[in-house]
Amino acid sequence: TIHERESKATQTIVQKIYKWYSVAAAVLLIPFLIAGSIWFIEQKAENSVTTENPVITTLFAPMGSRINFTLPDGTEGWLNSGSSLEYQIPFNENRQIAMKGEAWFHVANDETNPFEISVGNSKVKVLGTKFNMNAYPEENYVEVVLEEGKVEFTAPGIASVVEMKPDERLISTEDSVHIGYTEPEKYSAWKEGKLVFRGDPMEEVVRRI
C-alpha cells in the first residue's frame, strides 16, 4: 500500500511538471512564431525590391591602365585604357552589357541565357566564347576578333545576322561590314602591354598606336 501511494504521488508530480513545461513551451513558442513570420515577410519584401529595382554597375579603366574583371555569371575579361562596361544586377538571367572602348572576353557558357554586348546601335550575341571587341566612340567603327566559339553580329545597316567563325575579324562602319581571316593573338596582345603588327597597312598601325 505504501509503495502504491508513493508511486501515485510520484506520477502526480511528474504529470504536474510535464503539464507546466508544456504550457511554458507553448507560451514561449508563440513569440518565436510571430518573430519568424515578421522576418519572413521582411525578407520577401527585400527580395521583391531587389527584383523590381535592379542596380546599375559600371566598370571603368582609367587612361593609361588595363583592368582585369570577373562578371557575376563567371565571365572573365580585360578592359583596356579609357574603356567602360555597364550592366545590371541581378545579372545571371539577364546577361546584357553596354560597352565603350576595347575589351577582351572569355564568356561563361549558358545556353538558356545568351550574353549580349551593345555598342551604340550594334550588338554582339554569344553563348560561350573568347573574343576581342574594339569600339571607341571617337573612331566610329566596331571591330570584333573571334578566337574561339561563335559570335552573332547585328547592326542597323545589316539585312541579316552575321555569324563569325574562329580566326575571323569583323569591321563594321556606318555603311559597310567587312569580314576577313586574321591572327587573333595580334588583337589581344594589349592585355600584356604589347602591340603586335604583321604586314598591317600604315593606316592600321597608326590607328592602333
Q: Taken in order 144, 148, 153, 158, is the CA torsion positive or negative? A: positive
| C-alpha cell at position 81 | 585604357
> What pLDDT does residue 163 have?
92
Q: Taken in order 98, 104, 108, 114, is the CA torsion positive or negative? A: positive
The DSSP output letter for 109 is P
Q: Are strands 55-60 and 84-89 parallel, antiparallel or unpaired?
A: antiparallel
> What pLDDT does residue 75 have?
94
What are the mean pLDDT values of the chain's consecutive 10-residue runs (209 residues total)? Answer: 68 66 65 74 61 82 94 94 93 91 94 90 89 90 93 84 93 88 92 90 86
Euclidean distance between CA atoms 165 and 148, whole angstroms = 8
Torsion of CA 195, 199, 205, 208, to 10 degrees: -50
76: β partners: 70, 106
Helix, strand or coil, per DSSP, at residue 145: strand
pTM of structure:
0.71
> What pLDDT does residue 33 have?
74
| C-alpha cell at position 40 | 519572413
